[in-house]
Amino acid sequence: MVTGGAGFLGSHLVDLLLTRGHRVVVLDNLVTGSVDNIAHHAGDPRFRFIQQDVTEYVFLEGPVDYVWHFASPASPVDYLELPIQTLKVGSLGTHKALGLAKHKRARFLLASTSEVYGDPLVHPQTEEYWGNVNPIGPRGCYDEAKRFAEAITMAYHHEHGLQTRIVRIFNTYGPRMRTNDGRVVPAFIGQALRHRPITVFGKGSQTRSFCYCADLIEGIFRLMMSRFSQPVNLGNPQEMTVLEFARAILAATRSRSRIVFRPLPQDDPRQRRPDITRARELLAWTPQVSLREGLAKTIPWFRTQSGAR
C-alpha cells in the first residue's frame, strides 16, 4: 500500500513497484495529489485506487507486505494553507498507517524530509544531527509533523518489533510536480516558460541541492528492501545557490525572464545539503542523473502543463 500514491513522489514510486512486479493499492484523499498522476494504471489488475484520508481508519482485505507512507502536504504553499491537516496526517495518519502495518505484519517506510533539520547549524547534514527547528514558526506544522512521525515510527519499531524504515528526502524534482506548489523548481520553471520575472528570495545566496525523482525512488526502494531501521538521507549532495539555480533554469529554458529579488521568508533554511555517506555505504546508492539531464526530462512536462512553447 502506498499512502499519498497519487502525489508527485508517490506516483513515481507506484510506477516503479508495478514495473517490478508488485501489486499496489494507492490510498489518497486527493487534497494535493491528482488522479492524473496514476490514470495510466487504470485497468491494470495489479493496481487499485482508494480515495480516502489516511487519518481515518484504514482497512484492507488480504495480505499486505509493505506499507509506504507518503501522504502529506509537502510544499510551503500547501502546509501554510493546511497547517492542521499537515499536522494530522503526520500524527494521526502515521499512526493509522503504522497500525495497518502492525496488523498485517508488513514492513513500513516513512517518507520523512530534510525539513526535520530546520535551518541547520551543521553542514552538510548527517542523520545524527538533531536539527534547528522553530516549532511555532510558519514552517513548524510541517517540520514538527515529520519529526513526530519519525518518533512514532521508531516507537512502533522498539515496542512492537515492527520492521520500519525512515527516509529523509532532500529537494527532489521531476515530472508531475504541481506547477503552483510554491517550491523553487516549479516556481522558477513556470516563471521562465512564461518569460516572467524569476523571483529569488533574499540575495539568492541560500543553498539547495536537487535530486531527480527517478534517482530518489530507486534509493527509497533499496532502503525498504534493506535491513536498516535508522533514518537515511537521500538527495543529491551537489550544492548550489538559489541564484545559480535560477540562472541554470534561464539557460535550460532559453527564457527572456529577468531575475528579481524579494525579502527572505521567515525560517527559510540558509543551507541544505545531504550527507549521503550512509546511503552510499548501506544501499550502494548515489544519484546518477545530472541537473542538466534532469531538467531536460522535467521542463518538457511543464511545457505541456502550461501550454508554453
What is the dihedral angle through the alpha carbons of 220, 222, 223, 227, rounded to the nearest 10 degrees?
160
244 DSSP β-pair partners: none
Cell of 157: 519499531
Whole-number Å distance between alpha carbons of 232 and 230: 7
CB 11 within 8 A of CB 78: no
Whole-number Å distance between alpha carbons of 119 and 109: 25
Whole-number Å distance between alpha carbons of 57 and 62: 16
Whole-number Å distance between alpha carbons of 24 and 45: 10
Active site (catalytic) residues: 142
Whole-number Å distance between alpha carbons of 259 and 186: 15
Q: CA gyration radius for the chain? A: 19
48 DSSP β-pair partners: 25
Around Cβ 131, how many Cβ atoms within 10 Å? 16
Whole-number Å distance between alpha carbons of 8 and 297: 15
Rounded alpha-carbon distances, angstroms, from residue 281 to 28, 54, 128, 223: 33, 34, 16, 12
Whose grid coordinates read 532559453? 254
Rounded alpha-carbon distances, angstroms, from residue 248 to 45, 152, 259, 291: 42, 40, 12, 9
